Amino acid sequence: MTTQTTQSSTTAERVLVLDFGSQFAQLIARRVREQHVYCEIVRHNIAAERVRELAPLGLIFSGGPASVYAEGAPQCDPELFDLGIPILGICYGMQLACHVLGGKVESFPSREYGRAEWRIDQADPLFEDVAPVSQVWMSHGDQVANIAEDFEQLASTHDCRFAAVKHRSRPIYGLQFHPEVTHTLEGIKLLGNFLRNICGTTGTWQLGDFATETIAQIRQSVGTDRVICGLSGGVDSSVVAAMLAAAIGPQLSCILVDNGLLRLDEEKAVIEEFTKHFQTDLHVVKAEEQFLTALAGVTDPQEKRRRIGHTFIDCFAQEAKRIEGAKYLAQGTLYPDVIESGASRDGPADTIKLHHNVGGLPDELGFELIEPLRDLFKDEVRRLGLQLGLPEEIVWRHPFPGPGLAVRCLGEVTRERLDTLRAADAIVVGEIKAAGLYRATSQAFAVLLPVQSVGVMGDSRTYDDALAVRCVNTDDFMTADWSHLPYDLLARISTRIINEVKGVNRVVYDISSKPPATIEWE
């Protein structure tokens, strides 16, 4: 039983985001959910017949880097415009709608990137309670040069005549700017107006209702059978365990695989937390040697993930056989995992990275799968955890990748390099906590680089490892910005690592945003 996209009462009001390659597609979906409307991301060429089956109340066409008139540019099924479902095109999405329906899109010499001032030229339900003049965020070189007679112009900027348009007889709207980003000051209000005034949504997506429905669904499906839950100590598996504990109580068994890739003292912390808060049947598998053997000599990130996934399956399966009556396997798969792994039936097909907890496990282990968080973003999981009564120290723990420190130990993974990384990572997190900034940041960790550099320590020349510190701020982990930590804090972190961690003589700070960089280095 995979608890995914079903037409429950919470998801009855559904909006689809068609992804045309935008870096903001996931952010659009999050903004829609903030309006208590369930939203999914689907591929740009999804068939109109499939859309009709999903029965959304609205469609949003995302932006994208292509030019609609270029050969090979992503297109949508033109029959979408005949379904009568409200459509909001954003940037490329607007240009595509205008292009397909008779307008003309051109490259303009006056390109707009960044903040711009827009002016509403015509009243419309889309603009209810929106200031007539406001700041928007532009990111385009092409723009609509002419609209078809069936369209009308609604708003403009100094360099863009058609900043907003709508079809005269169909519920089709277009915005040349990006309402989903915070730099567009009235953007959230515009999206809300589209959802309520144009699509007719009332806001049925509530996490409390989602939890109640999911717990009831798990209880009904599982019956008297036993469920196994893989624990990592992170918020995702903790929330899954909390939901299962609420649904089936003593029928739950948890397995923690100590793969040797955990953070400092993490196994001890997980055992204490789950013994204290859940009093569940907890099995700990000591498997460091198996994982290090599987990773010996491997440097490719994807191959690391594959080998870790296969080894995890072997270790997990051996322990699971010892648990009598186990029929189901519960996993903390999240919606970003599904999107980035290309595992969604209707979602974008590109694989950004492999997730060892997305696909594959049920067939190999012989269990039926339970993924109660499969439709949620990370911030939704945190709020759900608090609603389920989990302590804040678990709910607000920074995320940790499924493959563990292996994808933060760039190059070959060895016990010695892992010990070095563990010690440095503990200093990074410890100093950020001591500065009172742990909750103010979203994810902070150390990355051991396969790079050596010259240094001088105690009048002697050294040639030791370089280590990067990564710290980001984000709402949904689909986009992120690097954290602007105080210089004195960074100095303390660097000094302590170089002085206390043997084999490291240089510390650098990662100031890359996502996109174009990912949060993890591998």
Residues 41 and 171 in one domain: yes
**Number of domains the chain is built from:** 3
Residue 178 annotated as catalytic: yes
- Model pLDDT, residue 459: 67
Assigned domain for 181 exists: yes
Stretch (H or E) spanning 5: none
237 is in an annotated binding site: yes
Q: Quick one: 220 and 189 in the same domain?
A: no
Domain at 459, CATH number = 3.30.300.10
**Of 349, 365, 396, at which residue does a domain stop?**
396
Is position 368 annotated as part of the catalytic site? no
Shared domain for 151 and 224, answered yes or no, is no
Active site residue 356: no
Dmax (CA) of the chain: 79
Classify residue 97: in a domain, yes or no: yes
State both tokens at 364. Answer: 């190999």
- Asked if 164 and 95 touch (Cβ cutoff 8 Å), the reply is no
Q: Is 15 annotated as a binding residue?
A: no
Contacts of 410 (CB under 8 A, 6+ apart): 447, 448, 449, 450, 521, 522
The count of other CB atoms within 10 Å of the CB of residue 419 is 15
233 is in an annotated binding site: yes
CATH number for 145: 3.40.50.880
What's the pLDDT score for residue 2? 47
* 437 and 375 housed in the same domain: no
Q: Which residue among the candidates 91, 98, 160, 471 is catalytic per the annotation?
A: 91
Cα distance between residue 141 and residue 111, in whole Å: 5
Inside any domain, residue 522: no
- pLDDT tens digit string along 339-352? 766 546 665 655 44
Q: Which domain holds residue 501?
A: 415-509
- The reply to whether 383 falls in a domain is yes
279 falls within a domain:
yes
Pair 362, 471 in one domain: no
Write down which residue in 369, 396, 423 finishes a domain: 396
225 occurs within a structural domain: yes
| Ligand-binding site membership of 236 (annotated) | yes
**Within this chain, do residues 328 and 451 fall inside the same structural domain, yes or no?**
no
Q: What is the pLDDT of residue 351?
A: 45
Using N-to-C axis directions, what is the helix angle for 415-434 and 487-500, rounded to 10°?
150
* Burial of 383: CB neighbours in 10 Å, binned 0-12, 13-18, 19+: middle
Residues in the chain where the model's pLDDT stays below 50: 1-6, 343, 351-360
Question: Domain holding 289: CATH number?
Answer: 3.40.50.620
513 is in an annotated binding site: no
Do both 340 and 437 map to the same domain?
A: no
According to the annotation, is 460 in a ligand binding site? no
Residues 437 and 335 in one domain: no
* H helix intervals, 158-265: 187-193, 207-222, 235-248
Among residues 198, 230, 265, the one where a domain terminates is 198
Domain membership flag for residue 520? no
Question: With the C-alpha atoms ordered 93, 99, 103, 108, is the resulting torsion angle positive or negative?
Answer: positive
For residues 194 and 318, state if they share a domain.
no
Q: Are residues 61 and 176 in the same domain?
A: yes
User: In terms of domains, do 36 and 163 share one?
Assistant: yes
- Answer whether 425's CB lies under 8 Å from 504's CB: no
- Of residues 13, 112, 180, 266, which has the active-site annotation? 180
Alpha-carbon distance of 12 to 201, in angstroms, equals 10
Same domain, 194 and 217: no
Find, among 267, 202, 205, 265, the residue nearest to 233 by Cα.
267
Which entry of 140, 178, 356, 398 is annotated as an active-site residue?
Answer: 178
* Cα separation, 83 vs 49, whole angstroms: 9
Q: Flag whether 410 is in a domain.
A: no
In 3D, which of 229, 238, 284 has the Cα closest to residue 400? Answer: 238
pLDDT digits (tens, 9 = 90+) for 458-478: 767 889 999 999 999 987 676
